[in-house]
Structure 1
Amino acid sequence: MIALIGTITLSGTAIAATLPAPAGAPAAPAVVAPAQQPDGIDVSGTLRDQNGQPLANVKIVAERDGAPAAEATSQANGRWQLTVPAAGSYTFRLDETSLPPGTEVLQGETTREVTDGSLNTVVFRFGEEVSGSATGGFATFLRLLVDGIRFGLVIGISAVGLSLIFGTTGLTNFAHGEMVTIGAVIAWYVNVMGGVHLIPATIIAMLIGALLGAANELGIWRRLRRRGAGLIAQLVVSIGLSIALRYLVLIFFGGRSESFADYTAQTVRNYGPIALTDKDLSAIVIAVAVLLGVALLLQRTRIGKAMRAVSDNRDLAASSGINVDRVVLFVWMLGGALATLGGVLFALSELSSTVQYEMGFRLLLLMFAGVILGGLGTAYGALLGCLIVGILVQLSTLVLPLDLKYLGGLAVLIVILVFRPQGLLGSKARIG
């Protein structure tokens, strides 16, 4: 697999440079040049293959409203530059006929919001053509399996909080996807606008995400529960809150796609038949470590045991001396922090590559699918269900177009729930 990453640098101002005259040469009279108005926005980038080698003579076209706006050809060092007439939304497309022989395009075009003075990243994805042999087919299957595990872990980190909130409060929180988006947007602002490296920026964003989770619980949901609002009413409120938060992010962040300042252009390394960038491998390690930490929290700590008790029987837990409100508040804070981390990992992955105002909304359906598949209210079930959904989504591209890959995971969800409505790790409930 070849990942071609072009970093775009935008500038809308002209910069004049004065060179000193050679020694002994007569001084030239000073000339004041008239002010130049920018004729457009320069867009440049670099194309490199999985070994870090530049790709030359690849044609890149920028289109706006279906009409060509500018084009460029990469140089011997893989560098390309073009000038678009004005800020706006452009589609950047590679000319497939100019690509090296033996490559198959997985993602040859992308749409980006070009703004003056900002930094954008365009990611073009390619895969080496594989033969119809068993070895080639197995390599493709293995690569998609690893991609699915990585995707499932990202969904799982985001969905564990959703499952714990349902287990302790009974709330089906449709606004949880927006917590993923807000966390990624906060990390982007701290990283790009604040100049903080992405790792500490993510930690800061997770702390803010935990505070936002606490604000949700204290400002909305605890008040509704104390006033006797039913679960259906709370569900409707969560839907309205989801819509409101999504459009607030759109107002303040905009509809553009932005990348983090760190870990954008990376070389793909081959691990046998598997090809991963360092950030993808790090994402898998981080996700596994965090989820193991959550498991230890639930099994070995007092607050974890209290969370499990509240999830099993809220009234019995309260009668045994457990402060239910404090436990629920901790669950909301944990869910906000994990949602933030999931948003950052998703924005770094090839599945998204950028921070967008709808990224959490796109993950929400898959989070619900994983939580329901694993069993509502169980953190381990959410993790197992999300892993299954992520793997099936990626493996479905063997038989389905990329645009329809989510159908595979959702179809299996329907089939499993027909035979086991409580989910894989859920327990049967007797009603009546």
Structure 2
Amino acid sequence: MRVTRLLVPILALLLVVLAPAAAWAQGEEVPAGPTFLDRALQSLLDGIQFGAIIAITAVGLSLVFGTTHLINFAHGELVTIGAVIAFFLNVTAQGPGWHIIISAVVAVVLGAALGGVLERVMWRPLRNRGTGLINLFIITIGLSLLLRHVVLVFFGSRPSSYREYDIQQAIDLGPVGITPRDLTITVLSVLVLLGVAFMLQKTRIGTAIRAVSSNRDLAEASGIDVNRVVLVVWILGGGLAALGGVFFGLVEIITWDMGFRLLLLMFAGIILGGLGSAYGAMVGSFVVGIVAQMSSLWFPIDLQNAWALLALIVVLLIRPQGILGQRERVG
């Protein structure tokens, strides 16, 4: 395994060096292109942007698991719904043609409302009836399929994009380049994550969320309204998922299954960072995004998600509790 890890960068270096040499030997002009270091820095920047989007969508999923121990398989559909709502509000053919900023704000509000409705109407009654976690997980799969195909009926299978910021000239930042749209999305994503961290650390509701995630029974015995905390978590998770869906739709394209395609990377970021830890979900998501993008330097881009999951397996073999997770006694 160690020999294999050493051979991969050596072979990549040989390809970079020998390809121009072969062209020079045949008397061809070698076009000046970006160096391997330039491409690596560009992939790193793209990975940070991708990781920030994964982190926004994964934080809510992690908080829901931390407070209720529910693995919500339908969380990806909340991402899709947020992107689709903003699309219908943004385009002029089917909707009012609002600016993408206004459309995104409305989509986030509706996504948060949907998360709260699902908790109040579905998940809380099921918990009060004593439904087991395995049964709840199966229900999330069914809800995921239902929501995904409802989106397919109304949105269709044809990919679409928002009106604004479709094509932009990249800003050169030394060896790397980034469009104003992508730069804005990255900065806003980081600010949102910092805002969530501030809320968890410096507000009463944030302290209550951390207390319920740490020990639900002790928090309830201390006078914390657990049901209220869980409702706030679902509202926050729905809003963040919708915002991540809008950002993902701006960076790539809007499809009826975009949230489902992102769901596996969300789970990877959460498990990599540490189950139930919001900060772990943030760190793990950035690692997943960076590994996914930088793997395209050596391997086909179709395999970038596979290498991100391989990084997850390697980290868990070394540190089973994840990057920021805590060891737990078994038995």
2:284 corresponds to which of 377, 385, 407: 385
CA–CA distance in 2 between the matches of 1:334 and 1:342?
12
Higher helix share: 2
CA–CA distance in 1 between the matches of 2:323 and 2:179?
33
Question: What are the equivalent positions in structure 2 for 1:392-403 lying under 5 Å apart?
Answer: 392-403=291-302
- Is 1:216 aligned to residue 118 of structure 2? yes
2:237 corresponds to which of 335, 339, 363: 335
CA–CA distance in 1 between the matches of 2:79 and 2:255?
11
Q: Deviations over 1:22-49 (max 9, x none)?
A: xxxxxxxxxxxxxxxxxxxxxxxxxxxx
User: Alignment RMSD, CA only?
Assistant: 1.3
CA–CA distance in 1 between the matches of 2:152 and 2:30?
41
Aligned position for 2:9: none
Q: Deviations over 1:268-302 (max 9, x none)?
A: 11111111100000011100110000000000000
Q: Deviations over 1:288-325 (max 9, x none)?
A: 11000000000000000000000000010011110000
Specify whether residues 296 and 102 from structure 1 end up closer, same or farther in structure 2 by C-alpha distance, changes over 3 A only: farther
Aligned position for 1:191: 90
- Is 1:254 aligned to residue 156 of structure 2? yes
- Is 1:129 aligned to residue 44 of structure 2? no
CA–CA distance in 2 between the matches of 1:223 and 1:184?
29
Report how far residue 418 of structure 1 moved.
Answer: 1.4
- Is 1:304 aligned to residue 206 of structure 2? yes
CA–CA distance in 2 between the matches of 1:303 and 1:102?
61
Kindly name which structure, 1 or 2, has the bigger radius of gyration based on alpha carbons.
1
Q: Deviations over 1:330-368 (max 9, x none)?
A: 00000000001101111111xx2x211011011000000
CA–CA distance in 1 between the matches of 2:273 and 2:186?
20
Residue 405 of structure 1 aligns to a residue in which SS? helix
Scaled by the length of structure 1, what TM-score is found?
0.68
Aligned position for 2:273: 374
1:318 corresponds to which of 220, 223, 229: 220
Q: Unaligned 5+ residue runs, structure 2?
A: 1-28
Residue 178 of structure 2 aligns to a residue in which SS? strand
Residue 66 of structure 2 aligns to a residue in which SS? helix
CA–CA distance in 1 between the matches of 2:163 and 2:294?
31
Specify whether residues 102 and 159 from structure 1 end up closer, same or farther in structure 2 by C-alpha distance, changes over 3 A only: farther
Report how far residue 267 of structure 1 moved.
Answer: 1.0
Moved over 2 A (4+): none
1:148 corresponds to which of 29, 41, 47: 47
Scaled by the length of structure 2, what TM-score is found?
0.89
CA–CA distance in 1 between the matches of 2:257 and 2:249?
11
Aligned position for 2:263: 364
Report how far residue 430 of structure 1 moved.
Answer: 1.6
Higher strand share: 1
Residue 171 of structure 2 aligns to a residue in which SS? strand
Question: What are the equivalent positions in structure 2 for 1:21-420 lying under 5 Å apart?
Answer: 129-130=33-34, 136-192=35-91, 193-349=95-251, 352=252, 354-420=253-319
Report how far residue 398 of structure 1 moved.
Answer: 1.1
CA–CA distance in 1 between the matches of 2:30 and 2:254?
32
Residue 98 of structure 2 aligns to a residue in which SS? coil
**Percent identity over paired residues:** 55
Report how far residue 102 of structure 1 moved.
Answer: 8.3
Supply the AA of the counterpart residue of 1:183. Answer: G
Supply the AA of the counterpart residue of 1:376. Answer: L
Q: Deviations over 1:235-279 (max 9, x none)?
A: 111111111111110011100111111111211111111111000
Aligned position for 1:422: 321
CA–CA distance in 1 between the matches of 2:163 and 2:293?
28
CA–CA distance in 1 between the matches of 2:323 and 2:33?
37
CA–CA distance in 1 between the matches of 2:317 and 2:124?
35
CA–CA distance in 1 between the matches of 2:328 and 2:150?
39
Supply the AA of the counterpart residue of 2:297. Answer: L
CA–CA distance in 2 between the matches of 1:346 and 1:336?
15
Q: Deviations over 1:38-77 (max 9, x none)?
A: xxxxxxxxxxxxxxxxxxxxxxxxxxxxxxxxxxxxxxxx
Residue 139 of structure 1 aligns to a residue in which SS? helix
Supply the AA of the counterpart residue of 1:309. Answer: A
Report how far residue 431 of structure 1 moved.
Answer: 2.6
CA–CA distance in 2 between the matches of 1:194 and 1:331?
31
Report how far residue 129 of structure 1 moved.
Answer: 3.5
Say how many residue pairs are matched: 300
